[in-house]
Amino acid sequence: MSARILDGNALSADVRAQLAESVKEVKARGVTPCLVVILVGDNPASAVYVRNKVAGCEKAGMRSLRFDYPADTDPKRVLDKIAELNADDSVHGILVQLPLPPQFEEKEVLEAISVDKDVDGFHAENVGRLSQGQRAFFPCTPHGVMKLLAAGDIDVSGADAVVIGRSNIVGKPMAMLLTQAGATVTVCHSKTRDLAAHTRRADILIVAIGRPMFITGEMVKPGAAVIDVGMNRIPAGLPNEGKLCGDVDFASVKDVAGAITPVPGGVGPMTITMLLANTLESAQRAAERKGV
C-alpha cells in the first residue's frame, strides 16, 4: 500500500485564496499589508526562497519590498534599516533571511525587529509567548506543518510525535506546537543514541535535519504520518543529481507510511503561506489600532 500524499501546493492554493479575500477587506479599510524581506549575501537557495516569498505576496494582493545587501555588509547598516522599518507604519512584516554572513550576530538582528512585525516568529518574546501558549506569531514552517496535519485529518492529540532536529527555526518551535496540540513529543538530534528506536515508535514523524534522503522505510512505523521539512540537493553520483530532495527517502518510506509530504510541494509552500498569513494578521492589527 502506498501512503496518502499530503499536498502542500493544493492546501496552499486553498489557504492563499482565502487570504486574498481578507487582504481585500483590510485594503478596503485603508491598510495594504506589506512585507519587507532583507537578504544579505548571495546564497542561491536563499535567493529562490526570497523570490517565492515576494511572488506570494504580490499574488495575494499584498505589497512586498526587498532590500539586498552584499555579503560583506557592516551589520550596523542592516540594524539601521530595521530601525527605520520598525518606525514605518506602512510596513507590517519584517523578515531577515537566514543564514546571515559570519560577521552578523543572528540573535542581535532578530531581536532588533519589532515584536509586532516579527512575522517569522523568531524574536525571543514571540518564542516565549508561544512556549506559554499565549497569542503570538507562530514560526511559519512549524505552523505550516500543523495546518498540513489538520488538513490531512491526522490526529495530533494523544499521538506519539517524534521531531528530528532541534533548531530554533524548525525543530524547537515544532515540538512546542505539537505539545500544545496534545502530542507526546520526543525531540531527537545529532547526539541521540538510537535514532531508529525513536522514529519507529512515532505516529507522527517530523524530519528537519538537512541530510538528503536520510530517513528510510525501515525507520518508520507502518501507517505513520511522515512530514519532510528538508530542502537539499540530490548528491552527485545519484539519479537526478542536483535536483531538490528532502530528508526523507520518499521511495522507500511511501510504502510504509500512512501519509507523507513530498519535496517539493509539501512543507515549503506552506511555509510561505503562513508567512503571508502572519503578515495579513499584522496588518489587521494595525487597522484595529488605527480604529478603522
Ligand X SMILES: NC(=O)C1=CN([C@@H]2O[C@H](COP(=O)(O)OP(=O)(O)OC[C@H]3O[C@@H](n4cnc5c(N)ncnc54)[C@H](OP(=O)(O)O)[C@@H]3O)[C@@H](O)[C@H]2O)C=CC1
Ligand Y SMILES: Nc1nc(=O)c2c([nH]1)NC[C@@H]1CN(c3ccc(C(=O)N[C@@H](CCC(=O)O)C(=O)O)cc3)C=[N+]21
The verdict on 1 binding ligand Y (CB under 6 A) reads no
195 binds, among ligand Y, ligand X, Mg ion, none (CB under 5 to 8 A by kind): ligand X
Q: What angle do CA 173, 19, 4 make, to 5 degrees?
A: 60
86: number of Cβ within 10 Å:
15
| Residue from 272, 277, 280, 287 in contact with ligand Y (CB under 6 A) | 272
Largest CA distance in the chain: 60
Q: Is 120 an active-site residue?
A: yes
Site size toward ligand Y (CB under 6 A) is 18
Helices and strands, counts by H and E, the chain: 10, 11
- DSSP 8-state symbol, 159: -
Q: Which is nearer to ligand Y, 113 or 256 (CB)?
A: 113
Residues 174-203 binding ligand Y (CB under 6 A) are none
Q: Is 42 an active-site residue?
A: no
DSSP assignment string, 89-153:
TT--EEEE-SSPPTTS-HHHHHHHS-GGG-TT--SHHHHHHHHTT-S-PPPHHHHHHHHHHHHTT
Distance CA 75, CA 96 (A): 12
Q: Which is nearer to ligand X, 53 or 92 (CB)?
A: 53
Residues 100-159 binding ligand X (CB under 6 A) are 141
Q: Build a one-symbol-per-residue string for 193-232: x at contacts with ligand X by CB under 6 A, - elsewhere.
A: --x------------xxxx-----------------xxxx
Q: Which is nearer to ligand Y, 101 or 160 (CB)?
A: 101
Catalytically active residues are 53, 97, 120
Residues that bind ligand Y (CB under 6 A): 48-49, 52, 95-98, 120, 140, 231, 244, 263-265, 268-269, 271-272
